[in-house]
Amino acid sequence: MAEAGAHLTSSGSSVSEQPSVFEVLAQESLMEAVRPALRHAVKVRGGQAVKVRGGQAVKVLAESNPSRFSFLFRFYDELFLFLDLMLQNHFLSVSSASFSENFYGLKRVCSAAARSPAPRFPVSLFLSRKSHWRSLLLLCVAPYLRVKLEAVLARQRDEEDFSIRLDQSRVQRMRRAVLVLFPFVGGAWRGAAFIQQLLYLFGATKTQNPLLWLAGVRLARLSGDDLKELELRTCCRGHFLDWFYSSENQNAVKSLTSFPAPPPPLHLKRDPSAYQSAEIEPSANRMCPLCRRVRSNSTVLSTSGFVFCYRCIFSFVKNQRRCPVSGFPSEPQHLIKIYSPET
């Protein structure tokens, strides 16, 4: 009887080390929500969120002072990549896990050393140097490249929707071919990840997703020794959060998280001399601020509210990345065509 049940104890301990598929999916969802959450945090304008086409918004600092802070809007993905690299490198060095994995009590273990018993070293030494840098690249650089490719794909689709062909060079044709194949590659990747999750669910593999397999690691639950090692760091972090959200410090928190309302645009008053050479009356309000002619194919720039000719504003925004009147940082996806009964 004892010999027959001995293997159950050993197998139970090995199974308990493996996280459930729900824990794996939860930590993946948490990391995917960090980027849009941070983007939403900087969308606030005067206490309210600005709703713009495509889920994008002009940053508060860029609105208040475009000449000084417009780079925050233009290079948001690069700024997030830099912050993500520092965050993930810190957690990989300290807790042998990413930010989201550590949040759910998981750690990364080298697949090659998974069969051998874990040494009595700090958890920061469980990952080899090679696995550490592989994990860092796949955690930060891979999502950054995916976001940039999706942005280029969306811009290409907008140009095709408006039947605009600015360049037909060989590089442009190769880029269009890559963009056409990108959705199929993404679908194949998601299918491979789903199959590997099914294999992990049925115990056929110990690696939870393809990115972990490429990094040469797998996920495991933190042991008692690991928790003791991280107890001091977690305690300090918990006390900081308690202070940050305490009622005594609400005024200090509001002063840190509330931004001043940006000043109104400086070019709201129209110059009467601009209409002297025009063939229409100023009351008609149908002039394009760029070409100073009657608008054709009217298009509004959602970041500032001004209306232009589509061809004028598309070329200007594509090259300058800002509103020609207000100076607000803008992108081609912020253009919204106006379909009036007169046209």
- CA distances to 135, 148, 215, 265 from 185, in Å: 22, 15, 20, 44
Q: What is the pLDDT of residue 107?
A: 87
Percent of the chain predicted with pLDDT > 90: 3
Backbone angles phi, psi at 42, to 5 degrees: -95, 5
71-117: pLDDT as tens digits: 666 777 888 899 889 999 988 888 888 888 888 888 888 876 544 44
* Residue with token string 């508060």: 60
Is residue 16 within a helix (H) or strand (E), and if so which, with residue range? helix 2-17
Q: Hey, where are the domains in the chain?
A: 16-256, 272-337
Q: What is the pLDDT of residue 86?
A: 92
Fold annotation for 272-337: Herpes Virus-1 (3.30.40)
Q: Name the 3-class secondary structure at 281.
A: coil
Residue pair 330/303 in contact by the 8 Å Cβ criterion: yes
Q: Name the 3-class secondary structure at 222.
A: coil
Residue 287 pairs in a beta bridge with 294
The residue ranges of DSSP E strands in 63-186, in sequence order, are 106-110
Helical pair 76-95 and 224-244, crossing angle rounded to 10 deg: 140
Report whether pLDDT(211) > 60.
yes
Q: What is the pLDDT of residue 5?
A: 41
Q: Which residues lie below 8 Å from residue 158, measured CB to CB, with a gap of 6+?
A: 332, 333
Report whether pLDDT(280) > 70.
no
**CA angle (250, 253, 254) in 5-degree steps:** 85
9-51: pLDDT as tens digits: 333 444 457 888 888 888 888 888 877 767 665 544 433 434 3
Report whether pLDDT(260) > 70.
no
Residue pair 31/99 in contact by the 8 Å Cβ criterion: yes
Helix and strand element counts for the chain (H, E): 13, 7
122-163: pLDDT as tens digits: 434 467 888 889 999 999 998 898 888 888 888 777 776 665
Residue type, 225: D
